[in-house]
Amino acid sequence: MALTGLQTEYVGTKGRLFRLALGSSILTVLTLGIYRFWMKTRLRRFYWSAIRPGGQPLEYVGEPLEKLLGFLIAVVFLAFYIGIVNLVLMFLSFSLFQGNYAAYLLSFVGVIPIVFYARYRARRYILARTRWRGLRFGLEPGAWGYAARAFLHWGLTILTLGLLWPRMTFFLEKYRTDRTYYGSERFFQGGTWQMLYRPFRPLLIGIVIIGGGVVTGYAGAILPALLTGAAGVLLAFYGLAHYRVHSFRLLTNAKTLGEIGFVARPSPWRVIRIYCFGHLIVGLLMSVFVTALLVAFGGMAAVVIGANGQFDPIEWSAMLPFWLNTLVAVLVYFTIFVSWGVLRHVFVTLPLARHYAETLEITGGHHVNNIVQRDRDDFTEAEGLAEALDLGAAI
Amino acid sequence: MIGTARNDSYAPPPGHRVFADFCDGRTAVVHRVDVEIIDGHPAAALCLTLVDETRLRWPLSAIRSIPDQAGRGQLVITSEDTPLARLTLSDTETIAVLRARCAHLGRRPPVRGRLRLLGWSLAALSSVALIVFVLVPVMADQLAEFLPPEGEKALGDTTFEQIRTALSGSKINPVMVCDNDGGAAALARMQSRLEGEADLPYPLTVHVLDHKIANAFALPGGRVVLFRGLIDAAEHPDEVAAVLAHEIGHVVNRDPARGALRSAGSIGVLGLIFGDFAGGAAVLFMVERLIEATYSQKAEAEADSFAHRSLAGAGMSPQALAALFERLRAEYGDSDGFVAHFMAHPSLGNRIDAAREAESLRTGPIRPSLGEQDWQELRGICRRRPA
């Protein structure tokens, strides 16, 4: 088996990704958001090509203009829904309930099936534009079926207070996987939904402990309640990462592609470490940028006003012309916006992709050679709906 | 630049064979191929020799590179004639030569369906314009008529708190509502003199907010908000009364309820277009617009004429409105705050004239809206009581 096991290499570097993400983010800001379709395409090309199962890179062949087209198509339909439906809901909510919460709730619930539908379609588009060793991936149509199932599974999960969460994870993954192709070969999701209860335990125990803390709090013991609650939250936080990582691992290992199998070995601790340290670095660097900008502004203010008194930015900004204040506010806003996005790519998304890639092995690799090409899935709408609804904002 | 830097003298050292990974785009097999640049006829080409001695010729002018690849020191190329095929090169020398000699290495495939893209762009723009400028306003106008008074009050209360928060920039410490006893009593006297003509399903509530902008606006459910800056800028109580009468006119015509419903419909649509990147900014922008409350010209004219009638009816001069407009324009120039809001309406001159003409509506003698002492109390409405 070792002879035909294909290890996955990861070749992406932080420096190249930083330059790519920074340049395209700035262009996105300058073009009022239009360049985001190009940015997404270029980032995906980078991320895909960095992952190399058996030494051969994945390739992303999606085009920016087809994303723009899909987005425009989605806008035509969604604008009606969002404009008219929100207006009517707001009216009804204020007429009947004297508040806007009912409107927000209804408009949220109404959009849920569309969200699942959009997710499935986005996945179909992305798989149709992904190649490895020259062959296309693909996903069969079935977005409404997916939306209906997801809606029901979520309902069941909420009704059972989360106890059927693993069942939902498994069946939604099975629905997607069993419709996924690599070239002429179809994926199959094996295993059972009960197998996901083992990784679910830490999260479950954490939630039970939080519940215990709440009960203790109501009984009047404040300090023990706080301590129990804090312990519960920490455990639940770990439990969530544990569940995410291990359910991914179990599901991946139970997938087959004809004679080909998969072995994934990601580590929840590693994932948590990347999340926490990554975001810490992002936060530190962002505060450095914003401070630098404000100090520069302070310097400019001192020159403009000729102030030599105490450092009081609020007093100064009141004395400055309107356009200068606006300029600074816009600069700070976009510095925060751009640096958050760019640094997250560099310090969170890339290390996570690296970890998941490097811990993935393909077994029975020699069978890959028997697979042949599949037809192109034209798919005019691309991922327009998901884009318009702001889903999967990362990549 | 790349096309001119040709290196025709390159020839691989004898016996130096270069290998690369080749996928033909038909099967998943990765072929190890021997590559060689041959200067032959009809044109120079890259020759790929497979293990089974099959030879493929890729004319150099047809070679395209795959952009944004993460692998360092590698070049992934394809040929225009076989767009599904991929060749991954790692040999530094060959890569350098190909970069120098392939004139169209960076050319992207031609854009297909330009017309369709244009068509959908127009469709998206017109559907958004139709919704924001026609459908939402029409529906908002219709629905505002049916909004029950309690619902309208709730809408106004929510908006009022949002605006206080937005102006101060913090939820913890929203802009203060000025209500010291003397000032509030003076304001109430002014309000009751103007209320005569108003027929409202809910009581009118007038607030002064402690903020320096010289502005005022009306909210759904009978709330009128004056800013301290406006009272500071006025030289006579009748000028404040004139602005108050104008805003009461909006309340009577239910303009604020329409405006609020309109923006509820428009915010989401605008957020949809700009995506998450400017979504936050778009929402802020809309809140600003709520404050500016740019109603239609017709609505402004009607509020003005309501103000003329109630000022005249209460024995005040409608000219006070004209006086305030003119002085603010002289003081702040044409491009700042309050005046800019009114300047956005091309008919400002007409409105000043109309206020002058309305002088004829007044029959009795002039009685100022407030006595000198009340006026001083109103000017100090934002002063905190001594502890």
Residue B328: burial class (beta carbons within 10 Å; 0-12, 13-18, 19+): buried
User: What is d(CA B288, CA B282) in angstroms, rounded to the nearest whole number?
Assistant: 10
DSSP 3-state of A327: helix
Instruction: Give percent of chain B with pLDDT exceeding 70.
Output: 79
Two structure tokens written together for B7: 């290196």
Query: Across residues A321-343, what is the average pLDDT?
Result: 80
Query: Across residues B119-123, what is the average pLDDT?
Result: 88
pLDDT at position A7: 92
Query: Across residues A220-238, what is the average pLDDT?
Result: 89
Query: Across residues A298-324, what is the average pLDDT?
Result: 63
pLDDT at position B294: 53
pLDDT confidence of A279, banded at 50, 70, 90?
very high
pLDDT confidence of B319, banded at 50, 70, 90?
confident
Kindly report which listed range (A256-265, A305-314, B106-115, B287-296) carries the lowest average pLDDT score. B287-296
Do the strands A185-189 and A260-264 form a parallel or antiparallel pair, or are they unpaired?
A: unpaired
User: What is d(CA A304, CA B268) in angstroms, rounded to the nearest whole number?
Assistant: 40
- With beta carbons under 8 A apart, name residues in chain A contacting B280: 333
Provide ipTM, 2 decimals. Answer: 0.83
CB contact under 8 A, B86 and A86: no
The residues with which B37 forms a beta bridge, in sequence order, are B46
Over 50: is that where the pLDDT of B337 sits?
Answer: no
pLDDT at position B228: 87
Over 50: is that where the pLDDT of B270 sits?
Answer: yes
pLDDT at position B387: 45
Residue A257: burial class (beta carbons within 10 Å; 0-12, 13-18, 19+): buried
User: What is d(CA A183, CA A8) in angstroms, rounded to the nearest whole number?
Assistant: 19
CB contact under 8 A, A16 and B70: yes
Longest dimension (CA), chain A: 78
Identify the top-confidence range among A21-35, A245-259, B367-381.
A245-259
pLDDT at position B344: 45
The residues with which A53 forms a beta bridge, in sequence order, are A8
CA distance to partner chain B, nearest, from residue A234 (Å): 29
Over 50: is that where the pLDDT of B293 sits?
Answer: no
pLDDT at position A304: 64
Two structure tokens written together for B271: 């957020």
pLDDT at position A23: 95
- With beta carbons under 8 A apart, name residues in chain A contacting B264: 86-87, 90, 103
pLDDT at position B335: 44
Over 90: is that where the pLDDT of A386 sits?
Answer: no
- For A57, name the nearest residue in chain B, comparing CA atoms only: B71
CA distance to partner chain B, nearest, from residue A270 (Å): 23
pLDDT at position A316: 57
Over 60: is that where the pLDDT of B3 sits?
Answer: no
Over 70: is that where the pLDDT of B261 sits?
Answer: yes
pLDDT at position B169: 61
pLDDT at position A305: 63
pLDDT at position A376: 87
pLDDT at position A184: 94
Question: Across chain B, how many H-helices and E-strands are there?
Answer: 13, 11
8 Å CB contact between A264 and A359: yes
pLDDT at position A315: 58
Contacts of A127 (CB under 8 A, 6+ apart): A137, A138, A139, A180
8 Å CB contact between A166 and A203: no
8 Å CB contact between B286 and B339: no
pLDDT tens-place string over residues B154-188: 888 877 887 777 776 666 677 788 888 888 888 88
Q: Give me the total of CB pairs closer than 8 Å, taking one residue from chain A and one from chain B.
A: 181
Over 50: is that where the pLDDT of B7 sits?
Answer: no
Q: How many residues make up chain A in this entry?
A: 395
What φ, ψ does residue A292 adopt, rounded to 5°? -60, -40
Chain mean pLDDT for chain A: 87
Two structure tokens written together for B192: 């009751």
Residue A73 vs residue A159, higher pLDDT: A159
CB contact under 8 A, B277 and A337: yes
pLDDT confidence of B14, banded at 50, 70, 90?
low
pLDDT at position B172: 65
Kindly report which listed range (B35-44, B207-216, B272-281) carries the lowest average pLDDT score. B272-281
8 Å CB contact between B263 and B255: no
Over 90: is that where the pLDDT of B12 sits?
Answer: no
pLDDT at position B347: 56
Tell whether A47 lies on the interface with B, counting CB pairs under 8 A. yes
Over 70: is that where the pLDDT of A314 sits?
Answer: no
**DSSP structure class, residue B51:** T
Residue whose structure tokens are 């500071």: B232
pLDDT at position A306: 61
What does each C-alpha distance from B18 to A263, B37, B96 come to in angstroms?
Answer: 34, 10, 13
Query: Across residues A43-68, what is the average pLDDT?
Result: 92
8 Å CB contact between B216 and B234: no
pLDDT at position A4: 63
- Between helix A64-80 and helix B255-292 the angle, nearest 10°, is 140
Two structure tokens written together for A201: 């335990």
Residue A243 vs residue B374, higher pLDDT: A243
User: What is d(CA B325, CA B318) in angstroms, rounded to the nearest whole number?
Assistant: 12
- For B125, name the nearest residue in chain A, comparing CA atoms only: A76
**DSSP structure class, residue B42:** S
pLDDT at position A107: 72
User: What is d(CA A59, CA A234) in angstroms, rounded to the nearest whole number?
Assistant: 39
Instruction: Give percent of chain A with pLDDT exceeding 70.
Output: 91
CA distance to partner chain B, nearest, from residue A105 (Å): 15
- For B147, name the nearest residue in chain A, comparing CA atoms only: A95
Over 50: is that where the pLDDT of B297 sits?
Answer: yes
- With beta carbons under 8 A apart, name residues in chain A contacting B117: 65, 68-69, 72
Over 80: is that where the pLDDT of A321 sits?
Answer: no
pLDDT confidence of A223, banded at 50, 70, 90?
confident
The DSSP-derived string for A38-80 is HHHHHHHHHHHHHEEETT--EEE---HHHHHHHHHHHHHHHHH
pLDDT tens-place string over residues A116-148: 999 999 999 999 999 999 999 999 999 999 999
8 Å CB contact between A127 and A182: no
pLDDT at position B63: 93
CA distance to partner chain A, nearest, from residue B120 (Å): 6
- With beta carbons under 8 A apart, name residues in chain B contacting A373: 25-27, 84
pLDDT confidence of A318, banded at 50, 70, 90?
low
Chain mean pLDDT for chain B: 78
Over 50: is that where the pLDDT of B5 sits?
Answer: no
Among A residues 83-122, those touching chain B with beta carbons less than 8 Å apart: 83-84, 86-88, 90-91, 94-96, 98-100, 103
pLDDT tens-place string over residues A168-195: 999 999 999 999 999 999 999 999 999 9
- With beta carbons under 8 A apart, name residues in chain A contacting B336: 322
Tell whether A371 lies on the interface with B, counting CB pairs under 8 A. yes
Query: Across residues A237-261, what is the average pLDDT?
Result: 95
CB contact under 8 A, B30 and A56: yes
Residue in B28, B264, B274 closest to A183 by CB: B28
Interface test with B, best of A72, A93, A328, A342 (most B CBs within 10 A): A72
User: What is d(CA A101, CA A83) in angstroms, rounded to the nearest whole number?
Assistant: 17
Query: Across residues B224-243, what is the average pLDDT?
Result: 86
Over 80: is that where the pLDDT of A260 sits?
Answer: yes
CA distance to partner chain A, nearest, from residue B72 (Å): 8
User: What is d(CA A185, CA A183) in angstroms, rounded to the nearest whole number?
Assistant: 6
User: What is d(CA B178, CA B232) in angstroms, rounded to the nearest whole number?
Assistant: 13
Identify the top-confidence range among A80-84, A302-306, B29-33, B254-258.
B29-33
Query: Across residues B231-252, what is the average pLDDT?
Result: 86
Query: Across residues B253-267, what is the average pLDDT?
Result: 77
Over 80: is that where the pLDDT of A251 sits?
Answer: yes
CA distance to partner chain A, nearest, from residue B349 (Å): 26
pLDDT at position A73: 86
